[in-house]
Amino acid sequence: MAVTFKTETIKEFETIAARYPVRRAALLPALWLAQKEFGWISTDAMVAVADLVGCSPMQVMEVAEFYTMYQKQKPGKYHLQVCQTISCLLSGSEEIKKVIEKKLNLKPGETTPDGKFSYQPVECLAGCHKAPCMQVNDDYHENLTAESMEKLIEELRKK
């Protein structure tokens, strides 16, 4: 189903695009706007971004597929992105992943049947100084332990 940007979003994009020498260079912020507005980057969202930016949907797809921060599948209400890069790995991210996989019965890339949680290991979230860390939607959770991870899941389940 085709999707269209709200007028306010188009205005926001025009302000952003004015900072770039060519409109196409604003493709990454356009994808952020699409993710914010539509919740994820579907094929239809890619077409809308292509129209907005002035390039082909294939060019949008090439960029969107490269970056893990753009969701190419509809995420759960709470999208758990666990960093698995070196600082977090050395500080216990494997333990955090095990808690998620066991407690929510999820494998990487999966969503719970009720649509509440989705889970994806990702590369460095730039929170290395407080490893291990994880992003839940737009919020960071740092210095995680197996216990704090279990507690967080329980808190999110109640919301």
The contact set with ligand FES (CB under 6 A) reads 83, 85-88, 124-128, 131, 133
Q: Which is nearer to ligand FES, 75 or 127 (CB)?
A: 127
Find the shortest distance in angstroms from Cβ 124 to ligand FES: 4
Rounded-to-5 percentages of helix, strand, coil across the chain: 50, 10, 40
Find the shortest distance in angstroms from Cβ 36 to ligand FES: 22
Q: Which is nearer to ligand FES, 76 or 127 (CB)?
A: 127
**DSSP E strand stretches across the chain:** 78-83, 117-122, 134-136, 139-141
Q: How far is CA 54 from each of CA 23, 46, 101, 106, 152, rounded to the nearest angstrom?
A: 7, 12, 41, 38, 42
Q: Which is nearer to ligand FES, 26 or 88 (CB)?
A: 88
